[in-house]
Structure 1
Amino acid sequence: MGNKSLIFCGNSPEFLDEKLTKESTAANGGTAFRIPSLINANGTLIAAADKASCGADWGYIELAVRRSEDGGKTWSDIESVAVPPARETRKSAECYASAFYIDPCMAVTKEGEIIMLADFWPECMGIHKSKLLDKKKIAYAMHDGKMLPLIYDRNNNFYYVLPNGEVLDSKKELTNYTVKAPLGSLYRNNEYLGNIYLNGAMGKNEESAKTTFGAPLKTPKRCYVFMLKSTDGGKTWSEPKDITNMILEKTDGTFLGVAPGTGLTLEDGKIVMPLYTLKNGSVSVFTTDGGETWHRMRRNPYAQNIGEWQMIAAPNGTIIGLGRQKIFGKTPVCISDNSAKSWIKCKKTALSAPQCQKSVITAGGYVFCSHPSGKERENGVISIGKPRMIKGSYEHIDWFKDIEINKGFFAYSCLAQIDDDTIGVLYESQPSSYIEFQTFKISEITK
Structure 2
Amino acid sequence: MKYLLAFLIIAVFFVLFFPHHRWGLTRSVVAWAYSSEGLGEENQVDVFISGTEGYDTFRIPSLFVTPSGAVLAICEGRKESRSDTGNIDLVLKRSEDGGETWGPLQVIADDGDNVMGNPCPVLDRETGTIWMPITRNLGHDSEKEIKEGTSEGSRECWMMKSTDDGKTWSKPENITESTKAEDWTWYATGPGVGIQLESGRLLIPCDHAVAGTGMFRSHVIYSDDQGETWKLGGIPGDYTNECQAIQKRDGSILLNMRSYHGKNLRYTSVSQDGGETWTEPVMDEELIEPVCQASLIRYEGDGTKNRILFSNPADKKRIKMTVKLSYDEGESWPVAQLVYPGPSAYSCLAELPSGEVGLLYERGMKNPYEKITLARFPMEWLEE
Which TM class, normalised by the smaller chain length? 0.7 to 0.9
Distance in 1 of aligned mates of 2:331 and 2:98: 28
Q: Counterpart amino acid of 1:223?
A: R
Matched residue, 1:304: 237
Which of 180, 185, 203 is the aligned partner of 1:272? 203
CA contact (8 A) 2:147 2:186 kept: no
Which of 55, 73, 76 is the aligned partner of 1:50? 76
* Max Rg structure: 1
**1:256 lines up with 2:256 in the alignment:** no
CA contact (8 A) 2:256 2:268 kept: yes
Deviations 1:226-270 (A, max 9, x none): 111111111100001101011121232x22221211111112221
Matched residue, 1:120: 136
Q: Higher helix proportion, which one?
A: 2
Instruction: Quote how far apart the aligned CAs of 1:332 are.
Output: 0.4
CA contact (8 A) 1:39 1:262 kept: yes
Q: Counterpart amino acid of 2:264?
A: G
Distance in 2 of aligned mates of 1:113 and 1:130: 32
Q: Counterpart amino acid of 1:35?
A: I
Secondary structure of 1:408's aligned partner? strand
Distance in 1 of aligned mates of 2:203 and 2:148: 31
Matched residue, 2:323: 382
Instruction: Please give the TM-score of this superposition, normalised by the length of structure 1.
Output: 0.69
Distance in 2 of aligned mates of 1:322 and 1:291: 23
Deviations 1:336-359 (A, max 9, x none): 111112111243222111110000
**1:67 lines up with 2:99 in the alignment:** no
Q: Counterpart amino acid of 1:318?
A: S
**1:36 lines up with 2:61 in the alignment:** yes
Deviations 1:54-87 (A, max 9, x none): 11001110000011121111111110000113xx
CA contact (8 A) 2:204 2:222 kept: yes
Matched residue, 1:397: 331
Q: Counterpart amino acid of 2:343?
A: F
Instruction: Quote how far apart the aligned CAs of 1:325 are.
Output: 2.5
Q: Counterpart amino acid of 1:290?
A: Q
Deviations 1:380-433 (A, max 9, x none): 100111225xxxxxxx52110111110110100000111373110000003324
Secondary structure of 1:129's aligned partner? helix
Distance in 1 of aligned mates of 2:249 and 2:77: 37
Distance in 2 of aligned mates of 1:122 and 1:242: 14
Secondary structure of 1:334's aligned partner? strand
Q: Counterpart amino acid of 1:224?
A: E
Q: Counterpart amino acid of 2:183?
A: T
Matched residue, 1:101: 116
**1:415 lines up with 2:346 in the alignment:** no
CA contact (8 A) 1:117 1:226 kept: yes
- Identity in percent: 28
CA contact (8 A) 1:126 1:223 kept: no
CA contact (8 A) 1:39 1:108 kept: no
Which of 367, 378, 383 is the aligned partner of 2:308? 367
Distance in 1 of aligned mates of 2:198 and 2:75: 28
Distance in 2 of aligned mates of 1:250 and 1:132: 14
Deviations 1:144-197 (A, max 9, x none): xxxxxxxxxxxxxxxxxxxxxxxxxxxxxxxxxxxxxxxxxxxxxxxxxxxxxx
Distance in 2 of aligned mates of 1:290 and 1:269: 8
Change (3 A) 1:374 1:239: same
Distance in 2 of aligned mates of 1:440 and 1:267: 28
CA contact (8 A) 2:146 2:154 kept: no
- How do residues 5-44 of structure 1 correspond to structure 2 at under 5 angstroms? 5-11=45-51, 24=52, 30-42=55-67, 43-44=69-70
CA contact (8 A) 1:417 1:424 kept: yes
The runs of 5 or more residues in structure 1 that have no matched partner are: 12-23, 86-97, 136-219, 389-395
Distance in 2 of aligned mates of 1:421 and 1:40: 12
The runs of 5 or more residues in structure 2 that have no matched partner are: 1-38, 211-215, 301-305
Instruction: Quote how far apart the aligned CAs of 1:291 are.
Output: 2.1
